[in-house]
Chains A and B, each alone.
Chain A
Amino acid sequence: MYRSHVLICGGTGCTSSGSAAIEKALVSEIEKNGLKEEVQVVKTGCFGLCALGPIMIVYPEGTFYSMVKVEDIPEIVEEHLLKGRVVTRLVYQETVTDNGIKSLQDTAFYKKQNRVALRNCGVINPENIDEYIGEGGYQALAKVLTEMSPDDVIQTILDSGLRGRGGGGFPTGMKWKLARNIVKDADQKYVCCNADEGDPGAFMDRSVLEGDPHVVLEAMAIAGYAIGATQGYIYVRAEYPIAVERLEIAIKQAREYGLLGNNIFGTDFSFDIGLRLGAGAFVCGEETALMTSIEGNRGEPRPRPPFPAEKGLFQKPTILNNVETYANIPQIILNGSDWFASMGTEKSKGTKVFALGGKIHNTGLVEVPMGTTLRTVIEEIGGGIPNGKKFKAAQTGGPSGGCIPAEHMDIPIDYDNLISIGSMMGSGGLIVMDEDNCMVDIAKFFLEFTVDESCGKCTPCRIGTKRMYEMLDKITRGQGTLEDIDKLEELCYYIKQNSLCGLGQTAPNPVLSTLRYFRDEYVAHVVDKKCPAGVCKHLLSFEIDPEKCKGCTLCSRVCPAGAISGAVKTPHVIDKDKCLKCGACIEKCKFGAISKK
């Protein structure tokens, strides 16, 4: 019997910061100290605090060590595991208080969270099915198969109010109901899982797959029972090798236990799941493109109707749900629809996982009840904006979403509220921007992404987004006119209305929302030829203030263009024609003599 568990994060973030070497060192130190029988090392999935990685938690105390290095391991093992003395120096400093060490659960980052979809992430070993079962895993499947009819299952999901977490927010129960009933005598139906996660900056689906892969398998089997399908497919991007590996292990273990396969729990329900790897094109996350890709063809969208519920994968009735959507299902079955519906707002129930990034203290994954305000997420859970800078906007929904300005910080986050202020939930990327971000530049960034990712099948998207990008580029170079801004806006509406799939239909959103809230910044670029945030290089001019310059020559030595001249101890001067606007000189000058305007 182990008296202590050391959990070490094996998610993508921590793996890239070296957690595998730490795990090895830990195991060997534990052995060296004769603690092998007492202390268990558990490799888990992502804790959601990847920026602090590699992460390690010691239970039962719940001591949270962050940014652990291999060199620290002997000390942690000897002091903490052997002698019971927490190594305060190496503990995540937010948890250090005057009365000792707080557990991670008591930090501001965790306290306001409510983990449903992420409940097992960072808690269990995802490569051991027994740990999932120990947390109540596969009980929901057992309940469904032995106590509920398919219609009961669908009714429970409908009543829970669960809506799709992949972006669209379509009611999940409704989707299942359509797939169950629309074609009466289908010989085959399919259950698909969308694990393509193309939104740059989003990684919640990856974290669920890495940290709790069985929850997706269990939920898909439940969906299969509900709609009458015996085969499922998970479409996961090949750039997620850890997720793919854990899914493979999970599927194998579930088959060995007979939790996938024929006659599950001795009933006449059979269900199996296959993996399909995507090459990582953003458009392949769109439902019809995804199915086309699983069929072995080039991942291009096709017109709807017919909707997948009627003619989906291989022309058979199909449902497609997002990873996070599935991660909620077993809990809804076990705890009931009322439990789930008690969280959230009137039309958006449950919780939502966000990937917090950008100008924020605690970057990472957070799961909060729907209806939590942006202010709570950013200021309390996220710990606010670093360096005393001012909040400017939060971007949600990635390339399909928009920016939320400070004036809407107190709006409860849910599907409908976000749409009403010109953004959208999207998959849950949440990028915080401060006064140093230029909104025109942000819009340009997302358009560059869409231009690259447009599959090219329809003209409004292929050509339209390209034209939009060119106009934005022109504006950031200071060559735009007020007329260009109007033309840009017009083009946005045209593309929205005429594109074939969601990619094109939502691509203009980043531009429309920045125009709506930050039009003055666009105007400053074209009229004053200035970038107020000091980002757009072509509009910047670097100058040395002769009053402050001490002539230390540091700047002229770092300038890659040789643009700075001046004798020692006399004020230096920048040759504007040569200057590349790289900013290197500003960083070097100790006297704050150089400014960009």
Chain B
Amino acid sequence: MKIEELNAIRDKMKNQVTLRAEDPDSTKVLVAMGTCGIAAGARDVLTAFADGVAENNIEKVMVSQTGCIGNCQLEPIVEILEKGKDKVTYVNMNADKAKEVIEKHLIGGQVVSEYTI
């Protein structure tokens, strides 16, 4: 093995293992996964966020789920909690909108206000 190969494995695995390093400063993406959320397609949204964050190598973002928020007609709901900023709530999400939020909000730092409430 060459050092370049070692580094390649390290970089490939990094996304994997950093999931287990809790960083209190990281931004949290919470997908509501109550029964209604799952019925409305929250699973696809969650997967889209998880994959998108990994593919784009976005650091300090943790994708997780919460339970039902109690707004079933607005599901799938996604909350983004960034340190020192107000909570942003996206509603009626789907996988495509998720990709857009990843690009504009998580990478670009701009809230996609047309999807919020």
Q: Is the CB of B33 within 8 A of A133?
A: no
Interface size class of A (residues with CB under 8 A): 35 or more
**Contact status B3-A146, CB under 8 Å:** yes
Contacts of A135 in B (CB 8 A): 13, 17
> Is B85 part of the binding interface, using a Cβ–Cβ cutoff of 8 Å?
no
Contact at A2–B65, with CB atoms within 8 Å? Answer: no
Bound-state Cα–Cα, A83 to B68, Å? 8
Given A1-B50, A103-B22, A265-B3: A84 in contact with B14 (beta carbons within 8 A)? no
CB distance from B3 to the nearest CB of A (A): 5
Instruction: List, in ascending order, chain B residues with CB within 8 A of A142's CB.
Output: 3, 6
Contact partner, A83, options B10, B30, B33, B55, Cβ 8 Å: B33
B107 within 8 A of partner (CB): no
Q: Is A134 an interface residue (CB 8 A)?
A: yes
Task: List the B side residues contacting A131 at CB < 8 Å.
Answer: 13, 16-17
User: Are B1 and A257 in contact, with the CB atoms below 8 A?
Assistant: yes
Taking CB atoms, residues of chain B closer than 8 Å to A257 are: 1
B59 interfacial contact with A, CB 8 Å:
no
- A83 close to B3 (CB less than 8 A): no
Chain A residues within an 8 Å CB radius of B89: none
B17, B21, B33, B54 — most chain A CB neighbours (10 Å): B17
By a CB distance below 8 angstroms, the chain A residues around B80 are: none
Contact present for B10 and A139 (CB under 8 Å)? yes
Contacts of B10 in A (CB 8 A): 133-134, 136-137, 139
- CB of B106 within 8 A of chain A? no
User: In the assembled complex, which residues on chain A have CB atoms less than 8 Å from the CB atom of B21?
Assistant: 123
> Is there contact, CB below 8 Å, between B50 and A2?
yes
| Complex interface bits, A120-158 against B, C-beta within 8 A gives 1, otherwise 0 | 000110000011011111110010001000000000000
Tell me if B32 counts as interface (CB < 8 A to partner A). Answer: yes
Contact A138 B51 (CB under 8 A): no
Interface stretch of the complex, out of A57-65, A283-291, A373-381: A57-65
Contacts of A138 in B (CB 8 A): 6
Residues of A within 8 A of B67 (CB): 83-85
A266 at the interface (CB under 8 A from B): yes
Nearest residue, chain B, Cβ from A136: B10
What is the chain A residue whose CB lies nearest that of B17? A134
CB of B16 within 8 A of CB of A83, answer no
Contact residues, A1-51 vs B (CB, 8 A)? 1-5, 7, 37-38
Which residues of B lie under 8 Å from residue A60 when comparing CB positions? 19-20, 22, 62-64
A1 to B38, CA, bound (A): 19
Within 8 A of A (CB), among B50-84: 50-51, 54-55, 62-68
Q: Is B16 touching A134 in the complex (CB atoms < 8 A)? A: yes
Asked if B50 contacts A83 (CB within 8 A), the reply is no
Q: How far is the CA of A174 from the CA of B62 in the complex (A)?
A: 45
How far, in whole Å, are A4 and B31 apart by their CA atoms in the complex? 13
> Are A3 and B9 in contact (CB-based, < 8 A)?
no
Contact residues in A for B22 (Cβ distance below 8 Å): 59-60, 62, 103, 105
User: Is A82's CB within 8 Å of the partner chain B?
Assistant: yes
**A138 CA / B13 CA spacing, docked (Å):** 14
A130–B2 CB distance below 8 A: no
A280 on interface, CB distance cutoff 8 Å: no
Contacting A at CB under 8 A, from B20-55, are 20-22, 30-35, 38, 46-47, 49-51, 54-55
Q: Are A134 and B33 in contact (CB under 8 A)?
A: no
In the complex the two chains form, is B50's CB within 8 Å of A84's CB?
no
Shortest CB distance A138–B (Å): 6
Given A59-B20, A105-B22, are A134 and B9 neighbors across the interface (CB < 8 Å)? Answer: yes
Q: Is the CB of B1 within 8 A of A258?
A: yes
Expressed in whole angstroms, the Cα–Cα distance for A103 and B21 within the complex equals: 11
Contact between chains at A1 and B33 (CB < 8 Å): no
> Would you call B64 and A61 a contact (CB within 8 A)?
yes
A259 CB-CB contact with B under 8 Å: yes
B50 near A38: Cβ-Cβ < 8 Å:
yes
Q: Is the CB of A259 within 8 A of B16?
A: no
A83 touches B6 (CB 8 A): no
Q: Hey, which bits of chain B sit against chain A, CB under 8 A?
A: 1-3, 6, 9-10, 12-17, 19-22, 30-35, 38, 46-47, 49-51, 54-55, 62-68
Sample of 29 A–B contacts (CB below 8 Å): A1-B15, A3-B47, A3-B49, A3-B50, A5-B19, A7-B20, A38-B46, A59-B20, A61-B64, A62-B22, A84-B30, A84-B31, A84-B32, A84-B64, A84-B65, A85-B67, A103-B22, A105-B22, A123-B20, A131-B17, A133-B10, A135-B17, A136-B10, A139-B10, A259-B1, A265-B2, A265-B3, A265-B6, A266-B2
